[in-house]
Amino acid sequence: MWIYLNDRFVDRKAAVVSVFDHGFLYGDGVYETLRAYGGRIFMLQQHLSRLQRSGHLIGLDLPIPEKDWPALLNEAIGRNGLMDAYIRITVSRGEGEIGLDPGLCKHPTVVIVALPPQSYPPHLFRVGVKLIISRVSRNLAAALPPRIKSLNFLNNILAKQEALQSGAFDALMLNVEGHVTECTTSNLFFVRTGRLCTPSIACGILDGITREVVLLLAQEQGIPVEEGAYTVEALRQAKECFLTNTSMEIMPACQVDHLPVGSGRPGPLTIRLQELFRSNLARFLG
């Protein structure tokens, strides 16, 4: 396996990072997860812009200019003999002496990993996944903004552990006002009173790129869409519910806190959006 590390592609065994890297010591860094279909990357420009934004929000200048990323990502896929791929870009603050001052790190560390796409058990897409409402609140936007896609992932890991301990697929986190936000690596959608609802960015979520595509597809089809602040009670009235992210695309959710959502099976709008996503995919490939 070829991995890009800082300025060249190296074999997996040689792809090692210093124990003084501030990504390792402090979770100081940013990342992106992308997906390629048939050798073409989904929403490439949007992912690169978000990476740039995340870096900017933590005062980290990406050492690779935006125009050079596509060739590197394509090389990462090609060298590993992949057409369909999961690609992860990690940019950490880099190696430096102990201490929080980012100035201690002279050069950010850049890693690009390309792997076969993550596979989810196919039956999950047919029957839907189970969610719990987490006791762990989503990070406060005024403390660690969820729109920074940072290496600092403990907030989500604590919630994920809670989900796994209770036999659920994932945990839905609430913000401090008690409004639903997102799951640990995905955005939330639900259908209520004939509308496709999703928590607004202001609720303190990552502005997911799959979320953006789903909203666009729904609007193009004249499906009523609403972004807002929703309580758990509002979610309980949902007839359908699903999650979105780059790896899963659209994943139906059939249960929240052991109660069925609607009929307890993937609903018609969820299935329609899954089909629309697939049939429109080529429009979104770079």
Give the nearest residue (CB) to ligand PLP.
208
For tokens 């065994």, the residue is 13
Cβ of residue 95: shortest distance to ligand PLP, in angstroms? 26
β-sheet bridge partners, residue 91: 30, 110
Q: Whose Cβ is closer to ligand PLP: residue 118's or residue 193's?
A: 118
Contact between 274 and ligand PLP by CB under 6 A: the answer reads no
* Residue 34 structure tokens: 């992308």
Q: Which is nearer to ligand PLP, 96 or 204 (CB)?
A: 204
Q: How far is the CB of 113 from ligand PLP (least distance, A)?
A: 15
What does the alpha-carbon distance between residue 87 and residue 4 come to, in Å, rounded to a whole number? 11
Q: In the complex, what is the shortest distance from the CB of residue 96 to ligand PLP, in angstroms, rounded to a whole number?
A: 26
Tell me how far apart the alpha carbons of residues 126 and 271 are, in angstroms, rounded to a whole number.
9
- Applying CB under 6 A, among 62, 174, 191, 206 the residue interacting with ligand PLP is 206
Q: 18-37: which residues touch ligand PLP (CB under 6 A)?
A: 33
Give the contacts of 18 (CB within 8 A, at least 6 positions apart).
Answer: 24, 95, 109
Amino acid at 133: I
Which span (71-79, 113-121, 180-188, 258-266) binds ligand PLP, by CB under 6 A? 180-188
- Residue 141 C-beta: closest distance to ligand PLP, Å: 13
Are 159 and 136 in contact, with CB atoms under 8 Å apart?
yes
The least distance separating ligand PLP from the CB of residue 284, rounded to whole angstroms, comes to: 12
By CB under 6 A, name the one of 90, 92, 150, 187 that touches ligand PLP.
187
**Binding residues for ligand PLP, total number by CB under 6 A:** 14
From the candidates 67, 149, 160, 239, which is the catalytic residue? 149
H or E, element range at 120: none
- Please give the backbone phi and psi of residue 271, each rounded to the nearest 5 degrees, phi first: -65, -40
Per DSSP, what are the bridge partners of residue 30? 91, 150
Residues of this chain, 225-244, that bind ligand PLP according to CB under 6 A: 244
Determine if 174 is a binding residue for ligand PLP (CB under 6 A): no
Sheet holding 109-115, edge to edge: 8-11, 2-5, 109-115, 85-92, 29-37, 40-41
When the beta carbons of 90 and 245 are compared against ligand PLP, the nearer one is 245
Should residue 209 be labelled a site residue for ligand PLP when binding is judged by CB under 6 A? yes
**Active site includes 149?**
yes
Give the closest residue to 266 by CA, choosing from 248, 250, 278, 280: 250
Local structure of residue 52 (DSSP, 8 states)? H
Output 95 or 184, the one with its CB closest to ligand PLP. Answer: 184
- Distance (Å, whole) CA 94 – CA 4: 15
Positions touching ligand PLP (CB under 6 A) are: 33, 156, 182, 185-187, 206, 208-211, 244-246
